[in-house]
Amino acid sequence: MKQLSLDTLRTFVSVIELGGYAKAGDFLGRSQPAISLQIKKLESQLDRKLFTKVGQRHIPSADGNWLYPKAKELLELNDNIFRSLTPAPLSGRLRLGIPNEFASTLLPGLIGEFSKRYPDVSLEVTSALSRDLLHPSQRDHFDLILALVNPNEQTEGEVVLEDDVVWVGDNAHPLVGHNIPLVLAPDGCMYRSRVIEQLKQQTFAWKISYTNADLGGLVAAIQQGLGVTALAKSSLPANLAVLNHPHLPKLGKVNICLFNQDTQHPVISKTLAEFFKVRLRG
């Protein structure tokens, strides 16, 4: 009787969820050729083509989409058995500090996966400006901090990604005229400082039309046509777009850094830090 390999199914599911062989390999700790070999083995065993390559992404075929939920069920059953019979290797409370925009765009999927793997770890998440998270009076309140740092600043944090700072808007509300309306976070936000600094160096008129510390509020204002904002490219919300407009100056780079504090839960902090690295670098 034929039997499917759970290890191969886990690779198959990872390719679908992460969008490619290379990202799945980073996540699973395997080389891209090893991932490709496992998928070919599964396709040969089932006599079905499971993926179609579009650019750098691997898109599931009709058969791949049919197999995906069933593979997830098998993996969940397997994982539940081991969770029930094996004590969780990690437990405790982890205090995470993270900028608001990454809390909205990066955390939902990442935290879901982390919680499935480590159900005995309780995550306490605080969203705030990077400046506030890293302030000496606040840093001891966190075990792990994800923060933005200007490339020209020295930092003790680990640089996970050097990202582009991009203009962000809604294509349904294009910029018109010569007065640039801005939707920004309050004073102290790195994006706000960068935008104002760059706009002051050119001659086009601009104004701050709306201020809100919450990304959801900024997104809502942009979708109502109140203006444009700036974000790290990796934190771009799915319902907005990167803008290229002759009146909008380049905004340069920003470093996305992890600060792993010396706490009572170093193993948990390191494990969550690795999750962040895979998602951001992917």
Segment 127-142 mean pLDDT: 92
Q: What is the pLDDT of residue 191?
A: 95
Residue 105 and residue 131 in one domain: yes
Domain with residue 74: its CATH number is 1.10.10.10
Is residue 226 located within the same domain as residue 137? yes
Q: Are residues 163 and 239 in the same domain?
A: yes
Minimum mean pLDDT range among 51-55, 97-101, 237-241: 51-55
Half-sphere exposure of residue 239, counting CA atoms within 13 Å on the CB side?
10
Summarize pLDDT for 167-220 with one digit per residue, the tens. Answer: 999 999 988 877 899 999 999 999 999 999 999 998 889 999 999 999 999 999
Is the pLDDT reported for residue 89 higher than 80? no
Strand partners, 206: 180
On the question of pLDDT at 83 being above 80, the answer is no
| 37 and 177 fall within a common domain | no
Let me know whether 44 and 132 are in one domain.
no
Domain final residue pick, 29, 60, 85 = 85
CB 133 within 8 A of CB 149: no
Domain co-membership, 99 together with 185: yes
Q: Of all residues in the chain, what percent carry a pLDDT higher than 70?
A: 98
In a domain, 1, yes or no: no
Please give the residue range of the domain that contains residue 264: 92-282
Distances (CA, A) of 121 to 11, 89, 92: 25, 10, 5
Domain count, the chain: 2
Answer whether residue 17 is part of any domain. Answer: yes
**Which of 16, 50, 85 is the C-terminal boundary of a domain?**
85
126 DSSP assignment: E
Question: Inter-axis angle of helices 32-46 and 21-28, to 10 degrees?
Answer: 110
Confidence band for 229, pLDDT divided at 50, 70 and 90: very high
Look at residue 142 in the predicted model and tell me its pLDDT: 92
Of the segments 149-153, 207-211, 244-248, which one has the largest average pLDDT value? Answer: 207-211
Residue count of the chain, please give it: 282
**CA dihedral over 16, 21, 26, 30, signed as positive or negative:** positive
pLDDT classification of 91: cutoffs 50, 70, 90: confident
- What is the spatial distance between Cα 171 and Cα 264, in angstroms, rounded to a whole number? 47
Q: What is the pLDDT of residues 152-172, one digit of tens each?
A: 888 889 999 999 999 999 999
Model-level pTM? 0.67
Domain boundary among 70, 85, 100: 85
Residue 156 shares a structural domain with residue 271:
yes
The answer to the question of residue 134 being in a domain is yes
98 and 126 Cβ atoms separated by less than 8 Å = yes
pLDDT, residue 262, reads 67
Under the banding of pLDDT at 50, 70 and 90, the label for residue 118 is confident
Residues 203 and 147 in one domain: yes
- Residue 103 amino acid letter: A
146-174 burial, b at 16+ Cβ within 10 Å, e below that, comes to: bbbbeeeeeeebeebbebebbbbbbeeee
Identify which of 30-39, 83-92, 198-207, 222-231 has the greatest average pLDDT. 222-231
Q: What are the pLDDT digits (tens) for 20-76?
A: 888 888 888 888 889 889 999 999 999 999 998 887 778 889 998 999 999 999 999
Helices (DSSP H) in the chain: which residue ranges?
6-18, 21-28, 32-46, 62-85, 100-105, 107-117, 130-133, 190-199, 215-223, 266-281
Measure the CA–CA gap between 258 and 165, rounded to whole angstroms.
Answer: 18
Give me 25's structure tokens.
């390999």
At residue 164, the pLDDT reads: 96
Backbone angles phi, psi at 187, to 5 degrees: -55, 140
Please state, in angstroms and rounded to a whole number, the distance separating the CA atoms of residues 48 and 12. 13
Q: Are 182 and 207 in contact (CB under 8 A)?
A: yes
